[in-house]
Amino acid sequence: MTATQAPPGSTPPPPSKPTTSGLRSSGRGTGRHRDWARERSALRIELRMAAATVLTTWLAMWSWRGFTAEPGGFLGPLLLVALTVGLVGALARWRRVPGVLVVVLQALIGGVVVCLQVAGRPYPGPAFWEAFADAVHDANTYAPPVPVTATIDVVPLLLVSGLIALLIVDLCAGTLRRAPLAGLPLLTIYSVPVSLLGGGLSWPLFAGTAAGFLAMLFFQEEEHLTRWGRSLDGAGEPVRRMSDSLRGSAFGIGAAAVAAAVVIPMAIPTFNFSIFDVGPGGDGDGDIQVTNPMADLRRDLQRGEDIPLLTVRTDDPMPNHLRISVLNRFTEREWSAGDRSVPSSQLAQGDLPALAGVEAPVAEESATYDYQVEVSDSFDSRWLPTQAPIDWIRADGDWRFDTSSMDFLAGGEDQTTAGMSYEMNAVRLAYDDARLLDLDTQPAAAPSELTTLPDDVSKLQIEDPSGTASLETLTRRIVGGTTSDFQAAVALQQWFRKDGGFTYDLAKSPPEVGADELQAFLSAGEGGRVGYCEQYAASMAVMARILDIPSRVAVGFLQPDGPDVTGEANTYVYSSHDLHAWVELFFPGAGWVLFDPTPQLRVPQDILPTYTTADIGSEPLPTGTSEPRPTREPSATAPAPTRTSTPATQPQTAEPATESGSRFPWGWLVGVLVVIALVALLVRLPHVIRGRQRARRLSGGPEAAWAELRASALDHGRTWPEGRSPRETADVVGGWFGRRPGAEDHDDNERPAHGPGVDPDADAALARLVDELERARYSRGHVVEPGTLRPDVLACCAALSAGSTPRARRRAAWVPVSVLHRQDPAEHQSPEPPPDSEPVGSNARVDHI
Amino acid sequence: MREALAGLTVRGRAFLAAGITAILCAILLGQPSLIRVGVLVVAVPLVTALVIGRSRYRLALVRTVTPQLVTAGQPARVNLALTNEGRTPNGVLMLEDHVPYVLGTRPRFVLDGIGHGWRRQVTYQVRSDVRGRFEIGPMTVRVGDGFGMVELGRAFRMTVPLIVTPRTVPLPVIPLGGGWTGSGDNRPRAFASGSAEDVTVREYRQGDDLRRVHWRSSARIGELMVRREEQPWQSRATIVLDNRLIAHRGQGIASSLEAAVSAAASIAVHLSQRGFQVRLVTAAGEDTATPWHVRDADLNIRTLLESLAVVSFDDRDRLDTSWMGEAAHGGLTVAVLGAVDQADAPALRRIVHHTAAALAIALDVDAWSGMPGNGGAAPFLTRSGWRAVALAPRDRLEAVWEDLGRTSAREGVGLENGIDPAVGAGVGS
């Protein structure tokens, strides 16, 4: 009767399982060891699930490593917490403790472990709370990774968060038995550091976490399935475990999904809409926000109201050019702050490293001024305004500096300057102007970020009264009469301020500082050479880089209202209309030197450093036509020894390119062509596949010919009558036939006549086809030469096409749907052999699916 | 693949939606590490659908139910023979046999990793305390996967009926009256070969003597018919079951109709055992499945029980009497009646006149609705010429049946002595 077969070896088989017991459990006498086996199995299931849950959670918590400088400090204890929580949960659920109690138990015992780790006592005593509060404070104060010192330790916070996360994940996956739900807390664990730190798990860890999550899903589903019904193999035994085939397929699916998750993202581009373009929310609340210095600068300047932002007490007689930040990186689109390296060791607390690139004599003779800065509540900046350079600073909070740019960046996420006050020592370097003017520089003196330009910027065509030339040519013309890099820089500034014919106008300035705007700004003529500090600074920095001088754009305050306005001695007020941008160029020996190319209207001559206004030579001609200071002239026979030969050759290589107008985007064209080719290939792919299928079928026997007819009908949007005899099918198909275009041409008929008898030839061909098919199917020994039916099939297909609307015909040609339809395998199988003799009753019938 | 995508579960769809959202957000917000999560969450249901959609399995099911006719409360066994004639399915097959809930829980089986040629038999029991006709099956098959992302449903088409007949109780032999009470034991007797009108015919069978061909019938029917030489007398009995809604009280299994059906079934079995040809008449008229036929008594009673198994309430107001025909035919009539009123009197009186002996069991239907019983329609029936007893919910049918037998005896005495039959029929609860 019932197939009795040995149950899986892991569980002892019941001695005798009466088949009549049906669905009711029986076998009471088989005793205790069965119960014990069941219990053991239940415990195994619980433990398995709990282990998968907590280990997955723990793996996901590896993404928190970035929060602290010593990740081992919390990962180890967290593993212990995780195992405890998992074990407690598994045992409690095994003993069928109510769900609420399970969570409470886990929280209690997990809490004890955490307390032991944090404060050495199994309960949250004062020491624990103190450590916890300190950790919270540290986490708020310092940006990740938070250093681990005697006083700074965020591990208690991480441990408590980890415990809570573990409890939630285990509640979802274990107690509630909703493994998919556990994905949400896991995602939170994973994505919190992604959003705070900007980086995720490394891919092996991610793959591990993903595999763990999938394992949780599988365990839960397996449990669900085993409870869903009983196995047919074990004579009514409940299913103990799924077969290896299912496990294998689940493993395969999981592996494929994880692999896809690791590989595919590399091919997906991301568009960063958030880093520097997120403007402040409210413009009308009177707050000044400096997040992206350049973008905010313009908005703040254009604001009608002049809001006081900083109050500075200093003994510096000229507290001009108070810098907020520098922009290092120039892309085609904009100047941006670039990368900063701000490890937690570089806090704005105390002495700062020696000034980069400044010769010892200059540094020693410099004067220092004490600055006490108070920031108003309405100045919301993630950068700390400081003088440049400074040698000492004390600012509370997590302010960090980059050793190269020496600007100060908020470490904490929500940290801004609003309302804070701090002190610093500004250094006024005692430059010897004469020495400065002889300085040369080389690109290697600074990081490549400070010297690189996007391609093609130097080839921008600039209109100039002296004639249109590339930006590089123009630049070299401007600095033509100078003998050193420093003089070239001075020449550039003078060109912007005086000689170039520039006008300062904030309202008419172009909105951006990308390459295109640069071109428009520098070109003389209608609408050109009008701008404000941003354009001046950006353009001069670009031109300096063309001359291989490391350059960066500084953003800050230009000139405060002095004591005459504030009424207090040594007190200055910087307001929003003082925001400004200028240029810093690097010269070995002098360090970063300030230049300000913005015209007189905005920047008076008297607040400029004296070296920038020095007389630099005989011929500061703006047009720089042909004044041959041999050292600066590219075509000179004897280049200056300090210059490499590259600049000399560059114009020669660049000029022909510009003149021949060969800036045609060949790469673009090739790319577009390739894409078009690919698209065309994709579009024609179904057609090609269909063509090959047709060729194969046409050379086959009657079945193949019939299949081709079916495919053709499907292509034309007809519904093939499945499961009918060939003759019945032919009756239907014959009704679709139209007259093939021959003697009279009626190809463009919207609704061509179709039906039996419209095309007698096709009907005859169809009849022959059916006849051959029936003979092949039902008669014995009928052999049809492969390929002989080709004309008949072609005639039928043509008639089908003629009987269809033009739309259906187009569809058949371009989107042959039969390619997608898999032939129903049952249809062409030989009739199923009847099941072997079975002791079936009189009312038994065989049913198939 | 398309089928598999359509078969995505809520979980699968949620994963897909969440994943796509995550990917889009990650792309727009520039969080490449979230793309991974999105891709993972999208890939799991898609890959699963791909794998499950490629399953090519073919199951054959042979279902047997033995016996197909059971009395209420008796178990029947359903035997399933499953064969996998296709390839190994990629997922788990979840089989659920759709058994009416009255018959017990639906058996569910989990098949997993079955290869080609895999074959199993499984037997389970069904049992119903409620009479009726139940379709066992069809069996549905769902293909699931290890992550619960996809569930493809298919179903076998075949169902097997199981007929659960009313419970019957063995009844004692009582004198039934009617036209053949002379010998004490009422048994079928041969009926003498009569006139031409009495001739009954049957189809020609191979081996029949050509001389017995009844040409007139053959001409009328269109095929050869032969005379039957002898026709055994039939003791014919008609069981009238009043299944009108207005005649009964109570609902479902606790209604008085169930008691009436059960009583009718017991009487039918009893009479059949005593050699009667029994037919069933309900308020809707003669049951077409159980006319008087010459056939095996077992077969006959089986059909009758099947009819009784599916008897349900009838909405009509009056008993249909068209089954009685023109002439009185004699025979025994046993009526199982609910509440009757004056409007039913003509029909009841006609039955009395129509038959040789009219016995009635009148259910005290008010007792079924919780009110105190009042003897039901028994006195009324007795006055109409029936031999009637009342049946209350707690009465045992055997005892009531025996009372019915005694009634007949006393009734005869009562009539001779000029006593009103109603007095003699005052038997009941």
Looking at the complex, report in whole angstroms how far the Cα of residue A174 sits from the nearest Cα belonging to chain B.
Answer: 16
pLDDT of residue A504: 83
Interface probe for A, chosen from B27, B40, B101 (most Cβ of A below 10 Å), is: B40
- Which tokens go with B8? 């995505």
Listed residue (A408, A405, A381) closest to A394, CA to CA: A408
Distance from chain centroid for Cα A609: 44
3-state SS class at A512? coil
pTM of the model: 0.54
CA distances from B227 to A789, B215, B233, B236 (A): 63, 9, 16, 22
Distance CA(B123)–CA(A21), nearest Å, equals 9
Does B146 contact A247 at a Cβ distance shorter than 8 Å? Answer: yes
Looking at the complex, report in whole angstroms how far the Cα of residue A105 sits from the nearest Cα belonging to chain B.
Answer: 30
Q: Is A209 left (phi over 0), alpha (psi -120 to 50) or beta?
A: alpha
Give the closest of A206, A221, A244 to B113, CB-based: A244
User: Mean pLDDT highest for which of A172-181, A441-450, A771-780?
Assistant: A172-181
B344 vs A11 pLDDT, higher one: B344
pLDDT of residue A609: 81
| Chain B residues touching residue A195 (CB < 8 angstroms) | 31
Pick the residue from chain A with its C-alpha nearest to B94.
Answer: A229
Does B147 contact A221 at a Cβ distance shorter than 8 Å? Answer: yes
Backbone angles phi, psi at A639, to 5 degrees: -70, 155
Distance CA(A727)–CA(A774), nearest Å, equals 8
Looking at the complex, report in whole angstroms how far the Cα of residue B124 sits from the nearest Cα belonging to chain A.
Answer: 4
Alpha-carbon dihedral sign for residues B138, B142, B143, B145 = negative
Distance CA(B82)–CA(B158), nearest Å, equals 13
B47–A contact, CB cutoff 8 A: yes
Distance CA(A435)–CA(A486), nearest Å, equals 10
Backbone angles phi, psi at B237, to 5 degrees: -135, 145
On whether the CB atoms of residues B140 and B45 are closer than 8 A, the answer is no
DSSP assignment of A303-331, as one string?
Answer: SSS--EEEEEEES-S----EEEEEE-EE-
Q: H-helix or E-strand containing A301? A: helix A293-302
B390–A contact, CB cutoff 8 A: no
CA distances from A461 to A457, A523, A529, A655 (A): 9, 8, 14, 11
Interface probe for A, chosen from B36, B56, B124, B143 (most Cβ of A below 10 Å), is: B36
pLDDT of residue A292: 61
Listed residue (A584, A479, A463) closest to A524, CA to CA: A463
Average pLDDT over residues A203-217: 90
Average pLDDT over residues B97-113: 86
pLDDT of residue A240: 61
Give the closest of B11, B40, B122 to A232, CB-based: B122
Model confidence at B361: pLDDT above 80: yes
B26–A contact, CB cutoff 8 A: yes
pLDDT of residue B15: 94
| Chain B residues touching residue A247 (CB < 8 angstroms) | 146
Does B109 contact A230 at a Cβ distance shorter than 8 Å? Answer: yes
- Which tokens go with B155? 């179903």
Does A849 contact B28 at a Cβ distance shorter than 8 Å? Answer: no
- Which tokens go with B291? 């006319």
Pick the residue from chain A with its C-alpha nearest to B42.
Answer: A257
- At A746, which amino acid appears? H
Alpha-carbon dihedral sign for residues A5, A7, A12, A14 = negative
- Mean model confidence pLDDT for chain A: 76
CB–CB contacts below 8 A, A to B: 230
Looking at the complex, report in whole angstroms how far the Cα of residue A160 sits from the nearest Cα belonging to chain B.
Answer: 25
Looking at the complex, report in whole angstroms how far the Cα of residue A59 sits from the nearest Cα belonging to chain B.
Answer: 15
Listed residue (A746, A735, A743, A736) closest to A801, CA to CA: A736
3-state SS class at A112? helix
Looking at the complex, report in whole angstroms how far the Cα of residue A199 sits from the nearest Cα belonging to chain B.
Answer: 7
pLDDT tens digits, B59-88: 888 888 988 889 998 999 998 888 888 887
Distance CA(A131)–CA(A120), nearest Å, equals 11
Does A246 contact B113 at a Cβ distance shorter than 8 Å? Answer: yes
B200–A contact, CB cutoff 8 A: no
Distance CA(B120)–CA(A232), nearest Å, equals 7
Give me the residues of B, 150-189, that contact A with CB < 8 A: 154-158, 160
Strand partners, A424: A371, A393
On whether the CB atoms of residues B407 and B428 are closer than 8 A, the answer is no
Q: Is A754 left (phi over 0), alpha (psi -120 to 50) or beta?
A: beta
Distance CA(A400)–CA(A147), nearest Å, equals 13
CA distances from A776 to A731, A782, A786, A818 (A): 19, 6, 12, 24
| Chain A residues touching residue B111 (CB < 8 angstroms) | 231-232
Interface probe for B, chosen from A202, A240, A251, A253 (most Cβ of B below 10 Å), is: A253
Looking at the complex, report in whole angstroms how far the Cα of residue B236 sits from the nearest Cα belonging to chain A.
Answer: 32
Q: H-helix or E-strand containing B136? A: strand B132-136
Does A840 contact B154 at a Cβ distance shorter than 8 Å? Answer: no
Three state DSSP letters for A136-185: HHHHHHCCCCECCCCCCCCHHHHHHHHHHHHHHHHHHHHHCCCHHHHHHH
What ranges in B333-389 are assigned the alpha helix state H? 345-354, 365-368, 378-384
- B3 CB-side CA count, 13 A: 15
Average pLDDT over residues A614-628: 48
Alpha-carbon dihedral sign for residues A216, A218, A220, A222 = negative
Looking at the complex, report in whole angstroms how far the Cα of residue B67 sits from the nearest Cα belonging to chain A.
Answer: 10
CA distances from B20 to A233, B26, B33, B37, B40 (A): 41, 10, 14, 10, 10
Alpha-carbon dihedral sign for residues A712, A714, A717, A718 = positive
pLDDT of residue A716: 86
* B363 contacts: CB under 8 Å, gap ≥ 6: B248, B256, B259, B260, B263, B336, B337, B338, B339, B376, B390, B391, B392
Distance CA(A231)–CA(A228), nearest Å, equals 10
A637 vs B9 pLDDT, higher one: B9
Does A246 contact B61 at a Cβ distance shorter than 8 Å? Answer: no
Backbone angles phi, psi at A130, to 5 degrees: -65, -45
pLDDT of residue A591: 82
B263 vs A200 pLDDT, higher one: B263
Give me the residues of B, 59-118, that contact A with CB < 8 A: 59-66, 68, 77, 79, 81-83, 85, 88, 90-92, 94-96, 104-105, 107-113
Give the closest of A19, A270, A835 to B83, CB-based: A835
Does B88 contact A245 at a Cβ distance shorter than 8 Å? Answer: yes
Backbone angles phi, psi at A712, to 5 degrees: -65, -40
Alpha-carbon dihedral sign for residues B339, B341, B347, B351 = positive
Does B146 contact A246 at a Cβ distance shorter than 8 Å? Answer: yes
Looking at the complex, report in whole angstroms how far the Cα of residue A832 sits from the nearest Cα belonging to chain B.
Answer: 9
Q: Dihedral through CA A681, CA A687, CA A689, CA A694, nearest 10?
A: -160
Does B83 contact A233 at a Cβ distance shorter than 8 Å? Answer: no
Average pLDDT over residues A275-292: 40
Average pLDDT over residues A497-510: 79
On whether the CB atoms of residues A11 and A235 are closer than 8 A, the answer is no
pLDDT tens digits, A75-114: 888 999 999 999 999 999 999 999 899 999 999 999 999 9
pLDDT of residue A631: 41
- A32 CB-side CA count, 13 A: 0
* A843 contacts: CB under 8 Å, gap ≥ 6: B64, B65, B68, B160
